[in-house]
């Protein structure tokens, strides 16, 4: 489906959606807890529903209400196949959890997730007692446990998501475990995982995110927790506030706990000269000078699309570090940004040697913007259209992955969208 985003003035208040990253971790922990857990303010993102479906397939009971989900945990698999949709976190997190049981379970994927590399995951699980079969290095993943625990080394340069799964599952294994991680990326996401584990009574220690010590024979405890607001989606809202708010646009629902990598967007906006002020329930953004800025997004790669949008309207070029983190997203996101922004008149240069992206600001030109099945690119196209010139976005349905209400929420505060 296509939609045209037209230049608009936004005012009022938008509440950020619930974090799919936080919710997926809570779902996994509720599955592993013996007893009744409550997850409040649930995300309606497709990734979150895929995680809930996987938990149900592994034995959890779930009752879904408008404002909360009641789950009763316990690993009692009722399905030999778990469909994780297009959720990279889901498939990498639930693989070690599914490996806790002693009979075969297949994890299947859809869309671009079918092409993401899974060999490091398979190799690591194989070293701690799990039989793993891949299809040419990719999903589907056939697992046969049980996960025994033990000592292993892990390459953390590609993704932190598999480490999250190991940290969730290994406390339930019989043996004590250690994980030595080399070159860990996205450390704040591991901090989120550790926050969740601590809140449900699981003990894990680490030495500077390089050596993790995980005692075995632990038990996740039932809980009653509220899903935090999603800073990944909130980053687009904050950028829109800085570009189109009149007199201002306030973003509610963005707290500081648990840790989220994309909270770093506030630092980037401040570097550019934007003005941010905390309110009782959110953040108010006023327009600033929009200076070009340099920002290292290695540990928060989901900030590339919203910050690239903002940089397009700055007075001088902006450089974002960490380009290598974008290759294995829903699209090859670095290439996607360069090519699609180019259609809108914004020159974007990619340097693999320097591991950086440079955005050169300029007037936005009307164009047809292909989101390439990538939810973050849908939102990026919308920002360019709402703040610049009419942009026709191809494939807006991809936004369901993380923020299904994106267009409705923005329409409520003055955004203008039209059918192509």
Question: Quick one: which of 323, 318, 226 has its CA closest to 273?
Answer: 318
Strand order across the beta sheet in which 138-144 lies:
81-83, 105-108, 138-144, 131-135
Distance CA 291, CA 270 (A): 10
Using CA atoms, how far residue 305 sits from 75, 310, 362, in Å, is 38, 9, 17
Torsion from C-alpha of 369, 373, 379, 381, nearest 10 degrees: -10
Q: Return the half-sphere exposure (C-beta side, CA atoms, 13 A cut-off) of residue 363.
A: 2
Q: HSE of 149 in the Cβ direction (CA atoms, 13 Å)? A: 19
For residues 314 and 272, what is the distance between their CA atoms, to the nearest angstrom?
A: 8
H/E stretch holding 21 reads helix 20-32
Q: Which one from 47, 230, 262, 302 is the annotated catalytic residue?
A: 302
What DSSP line would sit under 265-324, residue for residue?
Answer: HHHHHHHHT-EEEE-SSEEEEE-------EEE-TT-GGGHHHHHHHHTTSSS-EEEE-GG
Assess contact for 386 and 409: CB atoms under 8 A: no
Residue 101 — φ and ψ, nearest 5°? -90, 165
Active site residue 302: yes
Q: How far apart are CA 161 and CA 183, in angstroms?
A: 14
What gap in Å lies between CA 354 and CA 369, rounded to an integer? Answer: 27
Q: Are 84 and 55 in contact (CB under 8 A)?
A: no
Give residue for tokens 């690239």.
308
Question: Which candidate, 410, 380, 408, places its Cα nearest to that of 395?
Answer: 380
Give the residue numbers marked as catalytic. Answer: 302
């Amino acid at each position: 489906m296509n939609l045209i985003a037209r230049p608009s003035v936004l005012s009022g208040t938008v509440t950020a959606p619930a974090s799919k990253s936080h919710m997926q971790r809570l779902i996994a922990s509720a599955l592993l807890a013996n007893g009744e857990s409550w997850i409040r303010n649930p995300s309606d993102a497709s990734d979150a529903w895929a995680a809930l479906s996987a938990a149900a397939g592994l034995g959890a009971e779930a009752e879904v209400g408008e404002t909360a989900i009641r789950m009763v945990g316990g690993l009692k698999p009722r399905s030999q196949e778990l469909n994780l949709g297009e959720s990279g976190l889901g498939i990498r997190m639930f693989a070690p959890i599914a490996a806790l049981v002693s009979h075969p379970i297949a994890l299947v994927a859809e869309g671009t997730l079918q092409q993401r590399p899974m060999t490091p995951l398979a190799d690591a699980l194989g070293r701690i007692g799990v039989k793993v079969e891949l299809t040419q290095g990719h999903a589907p993943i056939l697992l046969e446990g049980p996960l025994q625990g033990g000592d292993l080394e892990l390459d953390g340069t590609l993704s932190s998501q598999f480490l999250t799964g190991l940290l969730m599952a290994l406390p339930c294994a019989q043996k004590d475990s250690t994980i030595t991680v080399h070159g860990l990326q996205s450390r704040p996401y591991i901090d989120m995982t550790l926050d969740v584990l601590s809140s449900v009574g699981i003990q894990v220690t680490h030495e500077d995110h390089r050596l993790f010590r995980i005692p075995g024979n632990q038990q996740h405890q039932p809980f009653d927790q509220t899903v935090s607001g999603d800073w990944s989606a909130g980053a687009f809202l904050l950028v829109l506030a800085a570009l189109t708010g009149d007199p201002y646009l306030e973003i509610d629902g963005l707290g500081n706990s648990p840790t989220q990598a994309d909270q770093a967007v506030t630092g980037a906006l401040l570097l550019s000269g934007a003005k941010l002020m905390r309110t009782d329930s959110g953040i108010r953004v006023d327009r600033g000078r929009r200076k070009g800025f340099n920002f290292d997004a290695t540990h928060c790669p989901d900030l590339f699309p919203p910050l690239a949008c903002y940089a397009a309207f700055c007075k001088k070029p902006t450089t974002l570090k960490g380009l290598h983190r974008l290759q294995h997203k829903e699209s090859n996101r670095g290439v996607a940004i360069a090519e699609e922004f180019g259609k809108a008149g914004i020159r974007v240069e990619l340097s693999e040697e320097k591991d950086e992206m440079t955005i050169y600001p300029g007037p936005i030109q009307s164009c047809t913007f292909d989101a390439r099945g990538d939810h973050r690119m849908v939102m990026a196209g919308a920002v360019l259209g709402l703040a610049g010139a009419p942009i026709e976005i191809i494939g807006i349905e991809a936004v369901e992955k993380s923020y299904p209400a994106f267009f409705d929420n923005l329409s409520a505060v003055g955004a203008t969208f039209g059918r192509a």
